[in-house]
Structure 1
Amino acid sequence: MKKKIAFATCVQLGLSCIEEIYRIGGNLDLLITLKDEKAKNKSGRIYLDEIATEHNTPLLKINNINDQEVLEGLREYQIDWLFIIGWSQIAKKEVLETPTYGCIGMHPTLLPVGRGRAAIPWAIIKGLDETGVTMFKLDEGVDTGDIIGQAIISLDKNTTATELYKKVDDMHITLTAKFWDDIVNNNITLTKQNEEAATEWPGRKPEDGEILESMTMDEADKLVRASSHPYPGAFYNDGEKTIRIWSALKSVNESEIKLSDGYLIPIDYEIEG
């Protein structure tokens, strides 16, 4: 019997997966997203009206993934699997158990490393050589569910958040296409996460992008690259002015922003105030 699939997202990573599902001939029975006025400034925020209309798919707009109307929608459309991608709210037990087989998420690290938030900026700030994307079955924990599949992404000393976000987006598409048939045929293999190797990364706020004179050139460079689009950008306060920096160069010669061991030269920047 054909499985009925629903998809909840409000960001580009999720929309890319939805587009790939339709591209490979798949079908979705219900789309779920935030109400239009919610999270307008969320990085990568998108709207599903156009794709829902294009494919004549019911679209449910909500305040919270745990709302009663979500449960009612899943029951009404007899959903077997629910994808929840790029969604900051944690689905509670009742939501996880309402679809026949459960819920599927993706996280932009190689779980169990990097559970939590801000995975793309942290991978750059931590100077990782590689990260990736993990598709997994959601449970009541944060990024703790059994793994369906993973894909590795390489980083180097010049990788920016813009570039890494695009690679993460591509890997979401790759994993969606790779495991779609197994999901709709209920033929997935689940692998437990290694709790001994688990790490958790905290969330980041726009103010965490401030460049301080006490930083080294390497620290400032990583922060600029990690905070670039689609994130709010690194910044430096110069008196009453704020310089928001999207890209920069390191220098040992006297220049724009003095650091503990050199100078940072803004290349792409905006002056505010």
Structure 2
Amino acid sequence: MKKKIAFATCVQLGLSCIEEIYRISGKVDLIITLKDEKAKDKSGRVYLDDFASEHYIPLLKIDNINDQEVLSALKKNQIDWLFIIGWSQIAKKEVLETPSHGCIGMHPTLLPIGRGRAAIPWTIIKGLDETGVTMFKLDEGVDTGDIIGQGVIKLDQNTTATQLYQIVDDMHIKLIEKYWKDIVTNNITLKKQNEIEASEWPGRKPEDGEILSSMTMDDADKLVRAVTHPYPGAFHKVEDKVYRIWSAKTNKDEGSIKLVDGYLIPIDYEIEV
């Protein structure tokens, strides 16, 4: 018997997964998302009303994934698997155990590397030449659950967050297509994460995008590429002005940063006074 699936998301990565499920003739029995007024500035924020209405899927809008109404909806709809994609709140034990088979997440790194927040910006800031997306069964830890499958993504020294977000989105779709049949027929194989290789990356705030004069040219270049769209953007303060930088080119021969007149030359930027 095919499994009953619920999906919790409020970002494009999750919507892309749901769209792929329907493209391959799958079905979702319940969609859970944040209330419209919540997380309006979240990177990749989307609204699921139109898709849910078009496909006659019950849509539950919530404040928190651990709310009692979530548990009630999962029980009422007899959910076997709950996908939680692009969701900042940590699901607690009761939520994880309410679906008969558990919960599935995806994380845009090759776990156990890069557990935690802001995976796409950190990948660029750290200058990695390889990353990926991991599909895994959620447990009570942060990105610590057993792995269902992974997809590898290659990067170069010009990759931007905009480009990587799209590649990550495409990889989410590929993993859904690859493992959907195994999930709905309860035929997945789980692999433990190697704790020896584990690392955790902290969250980032908009103010972490400030370009400082003490930075090297390489560090500034990485920061601009790491926090461009869909993120808040890099910025540099010059007296009473703030330069919001979405893309830039660098003079690698120079060892320090001087905005506009000098070495980090904005291609696409806004000036805030």
Q: Does the Cα contact within 8 Å between 2:148 and 2:191 map onto a contact in 1?
A: yes
The one-character-per-residue Cα deviations of 1:80-128 (angstroms, maximum 9, x if unpaired) are 0000000000000000000000000000000000000000000000000
Q: What is the rounded CA distance, in whole Å, between the counterparts of 1:257 and 1:121 in structure 2?
A: 21
Q: Against the structure 1 CA distance between its residues 252 and 175, is the aligned structure 2 distance closer, same or farther, given a 3 Å change threshold?
A: closer
Q: What is the rounded CA distance, in whole Å, between the counterparts of 1:230 and 1:263 in structure 2?
A: 25
Indicate yes or no: 2:232 matched with 1:232.
yes
Q: Which runs of no fewer than 5 residues in structure 2 stay unpaired?
A: none
Q: Does the Cα contact within 8 Å between 1:116 and 1:203 map onto a contact in 2?
A: yes
| Counterpart residue identity of residue 52, structure 1 | A
- 2:22 corresponds in structure 1 to 22
Q: What is the rounded CA distance, in whole Å, between the counterparts of 1:58 and 1:126 in structure 2?
A: 41
Give runs of aligned pairs for residues 1-273 of structure 1, distance below 5 A.
1-251=1-251, 258=258, 263-273=263-273
The one-character-per-residue Cα deviations of 1:127-186 (angstroms, maximum 9, x if unpaired) are 001000000000000000000000000010000000000000000000001000000000
Q: Secondary structure at the match of 2:258?
A: strand
Q: Secondary structure at the match of 2:214?
A: coil
Deviation (angstroms), 1:257: 5.2
Q: Does the Cα contact within 8 Å between 2:79 and 2:99 map onto a contact in 1?
A: yes
Q: Does the Cα contact within 8 Å between 2:215 and 2:257 map onto a contact in 1?
A: no
| Counterpart residue identity of residue 172, structure 1 | H
The one-character-per-residue Cα deviations of 1:195-228 (angstroms, maximum 9, x if unpaired) are 0000000000000000000000000000000010
Q: Give the TM-score normalised by structure 1.
A: 0.97
Q: Does the Cα contact within 8 Å between 2:29 and 2:57 map onto a contact in 1?
A: yes
Deviation (angstroms), 1:252: 5.8
Q: How many residues align?
A: 270
Q: What is the rounded CA distance, in whole Å, between the counterparts of 1:50 and 1:180 in structure 2?
A: 23
Q: Secondary structure at the match of 1:31?
A: strand
Q: Does the Cα contact within 8 Å between 1:257 and 1:265 map onto a contact in 2?
A: no
Greater alpha carbon shift after TM alignment, 243-252 vs 7-16: 243-252
Deviation (angstroms), 1:38: 0.3
| Counterpart residue identity of residue 211, structure 2 | I
Deviation (angstroms), 1:258: 1.4
Q: Give the TM-score normalised by structure 2.
A: 0.97
Q: Secondary structure at the match of 1:258?
A: coil
Q: Does the Cα contact within 8 Å between 2:216 and 2:257 map onto a contact in 1?
A: no
Deviation (angstroms), 1:263: 1.6
Q: What is the rounded CA distance, in whole Å, between the counterparts of 2:90 and 2:239 in structure 1?
A: 40
Q: Aligned-pair RMSD on alpha carbons?
A: 1.3
Q: Which runs of no fewer than 5 residues in structure 1 stay unpaired?
A: none
Deviation (angstroms), 1:2: 1.9
Deviation (angstroms), 1:253: 7.7
| Counterpart residue identity of residue 2, structure 2 | K
Q: What is the rounded CA distance, in whole Å, between the counterparts of 2:268 and 2:107 in structure 1?
A: 30
